[in-house]
Amino acid sequence: MSAGIARVGVVGGGQMGAGIAEVCARAGLDTVVCEVDAIAARTARDRFSASLDRAVRRGKLERAAAQDVLARTVFTGSLEDLADRQLVVEAVIENPDAKTEVFAALDKIVEDPAAVLATNTSSLPIMRLGMATRHADRVVGLHFFNPVPVLPLVEVVTSLHTSAATTALVEDFATRTLGKTVIRSRDRAGFVVNALLIPYVLSAVRMAESGFATAIDIDAGMEFGCAHPMGPLKLADLIGLDTVASIAEALYDEFREPLYAPPPLLQRMVEARLLGRKTGRGFHRYDQD
């Protein structure tokens, strides 16, 4: 394991948080997932268990191994249970105030003076989160991609304060312990992937909004005409339209370029809670489990 990191915490047990916890636990790490309360923690455990069951059904994981992974993962409703962690990854809602509050709390709770606090933010400045702590040199962006157990990429994002030792530690952890591919980014909104991806997705939303083409035809055009595995509107539904809008707003706030501005249709869909796969309806409809 990477530089002795054996105890990992994840704050947030949603789709991303549960996925991050899964890859950590499957790598043999002692993993604790923290949610807002005990009820949410049980929901996170169910989400985590369902993902392991899917891996077993698809032949990606043995049943006994899945049981071991579940057994070594603790789900809690108290941040205090992260006190002994060597690495904590924040994966709460993409909201600067919520994330800043988590980092300020973790700074007081986590006891190891060498512990790293990482954020899975897809767009927000790492510096802002680091400055909510007393140790901005140990704060770093560790941005995974959905679904975390499947997609191999992690973006490592450093602020002006992130130390070289912290950067080396998380890169080694992501590559050697988790088996991920790492790319590096400076601390700018959207980092590498979303700075390229979000304008493409927003362009597809504008095309649908204008009536130029249907969502089905837009996605089919990119899937069958450009060999993309998933069309841009299906991808937006997978990411979550609320998350797409949040990333777009962060990009627009920083750069003020029109291509980053969230289109009115996207904003109306978020207001209507038509968020994509997780709500059963976005640009397409989905069967709910």
Amino acid identity at 205: V
Q: What mean pLDDT is predicted for residues 151-172?
A: 97
Strands 7-11 and 87-90: parallel
- pLDDT at site 289: 52
Contact criterion met (CB below 8 Å) for 145 and 153: yes
pLDDT bracket for residue 288 (50, 70, 90): low
143 as an active site residue: the answer is: yes
**Spatial distance between the Cα atoms of 149 and 21, rounded to a whole number of angstroms:** 9
Q: Single out the catalytic residue among 94, 155, 185, 246.
A: 155
Would you list the domain boundaries of the chain? 2-186, 193-278
- 44-67: average pLDDT: 94
pLDDT tens digits, one per residue of 230-251: 999 999 999 999 999 999 999 9
What pTM, to 2 d.p., does this model score?
0.90
Residue 120 annotated as catalytic: no
CATH of domain 2-186: 3.40.50.720
**Is-cis flag, bond preceding 96, omega within 30?**
no
* Annotated active-site residue in 22, 51, 143, 246: 143
Dump pLDDT digits (tens) for 249-258. Answer: 999 999 999 9
Mean pLDDT of 216-222: 98
Catalytic residue among 120, 123, 185, 194: 194
Same fold, 2-186 and 193-278: no
Tell me whether residue 246 is one of the annotated catalytic residues: no
The CATH class of 193-278 is mainly alpha
Higher pLDDT among residues 79 and 94, named by residue: 79
Element (H, E) at 210: helix 193-210
Query: Residue 172 has which token pair?
Result: 């080694």
Active site residue 122: yes
